[in-house]
Amino acid sequence: MSAAPSSVPNQTIKPQTRIEKLFQLTKTLQFAWFCGHAITLVFSTLYFITYCPKIYRVAYAGVLESFGIITYQHYYLKQSSLQDRSLTPSALLLNDDLLYFGMAFVWFITPRFALSLVPYAVFSLFHVLIYCKSVLLPQVFDMSPGSKCVGAISNFIHQYNERSMYWMGSVEIFTWVWLTLRALLFRRRSWIVWLSYSFFLKVRFENSKYIKSSFAQWRVRLDGIVSHSSVPPMVKQWYHRFEVLLLKVSRYRLSKDTTTANPSPTTQAPRPHYQ
């Protein structure tokens, strides 16, 4: 007895080429976010080699694109709680991506400051690697999680991601010190940048374990230096006053107190790079 003819024609599905797979990825918002970080990483590296003003602006254009997309996604596309998407000032200050986006805009419109690119370049490095490991290599190049390339990227991220956040905490504190010196010398637009960055760093200090740890390390080191017998008493006195002033400022919160809030499991999950 012969089989009944099938009503659906027998068609062979042609496998997609790598170009076609990559083209499918380019249609996603996540790929645009990845491109922003790739631009930031590449042009930051080029800037530190050439110190070309145009390359500096392009690097920050990449920063604004990547952080702008993630901020747009958070407030307009993400299905999160109303508390997480609150537009009150204190709630907005809890969004690290929004803070970095705002500070990047300040860097973009003010005179060049090379040190400011370092944290963004490091963040972009890990975001590019994570996207390659999780999306680009598996979906375009059909690499499994057990492949050598994916494994090497995973090991690098696991080994250096957390460390780099502590290093960037120290870089951000040193940036504030350098900006303070520039402001005291009345460099062009230095006070505008100093006030903006002081606000940024204050909010980061309130919500980032990395900044708090870096501040603690700096304080221990400076206490040891200033306590040396060769340091003049007047310097010790001014240092002590400055230390007391910083402690008073640290007690005043600009953002919500996350320890007393009622976090939901989705909204309060730790961020991989901007805690």
Q: Residue 238: inside a domain, yes or no? A: yes
Split at pLDDT 50, 70, 90, the class of 219 is confident
Q: What does the pLDDT look like over 116-141, one tens digit per residue?
A: 999 999 999 999 999 999 999 998 88
More confident residue, 260 or 173: 173
**Spatial distance between the Cα atoms of 140 and 151, rounded to a whole number of angstroms:** 17
**Spatial distance between the Cα atoms of 201 and 34, rounded to a whole number of angstroms:** 26
Highest mean pLDDT among 4-8, 27-31, 70-74: 27-31
pLDDT at 244: 82
Which residue range is the domain that position 105 belongs to?
18-251
Of 33-47, 151-165, 191-205, 254-268, the one with minimum mean pLDDT is 254-268
Split at pLDDT 50, 70, 90, the class of 177 is very high
| Ramachandran sector of residue 112 (left: φ over 0; alpha: ψ -120 to 50; beta: rest) | beta
Q: What is the tally of structural domains in the chain?
A: 1
Indicate whether 268 pLDDT > 70. Answer: no
More confident residue, 228 or 103: 103
| Mean pLDDT for the chain overall | 83
More confident residue, 93 or 182: 182
Indicate whether 261 pLDDT > 80. Answer: no
Q: Residue 117: inside a domain, yes or no? A: yes
**Spatial distance between the Cα atoms of 32 and 34, rounded to a whole number of angstroms:** 5
69 neighbors 105 (Cβ within 8 angstroms): no
pLDDT at 260: 43
131 neighbors 29 (Cβ within 8 angstroms): no
pLDDT at 6: 45
Q: Residue 165: inside a domain, yes or no? A: yes
Q: Residue 261: inside a domain, yes or no? A: no
| Residue range 215-232: mean pLDDT, rounded | 83
Query: Nearest 10 degrees: CA dihedral of 167, 172, 178, 184?
Result: -160
Burial class (CB in 10 A: 0-12, 13-18, 19+), 214: buried
Q: Residue 242: inside a domain, yes or no? A: yes
| Residue range 148-177: mean pLDDT, rounded | 93
Indicate whether 232 pLDDT > 90. Answer: no
Neighbours of 142 (CB within 10 A): 10
Q: What does the pLDDT look like over 58-93, one tens digit per residue?
A: 999 999 999 999 988 888 776 555 555 567 777 788
Q: Residue 107: inside a domain, yes or no? A: yes
| Residue range 98-119: mean pLDDT, rounded | 95
Q: Residue 67: inside a domain, yes or no? A: yes
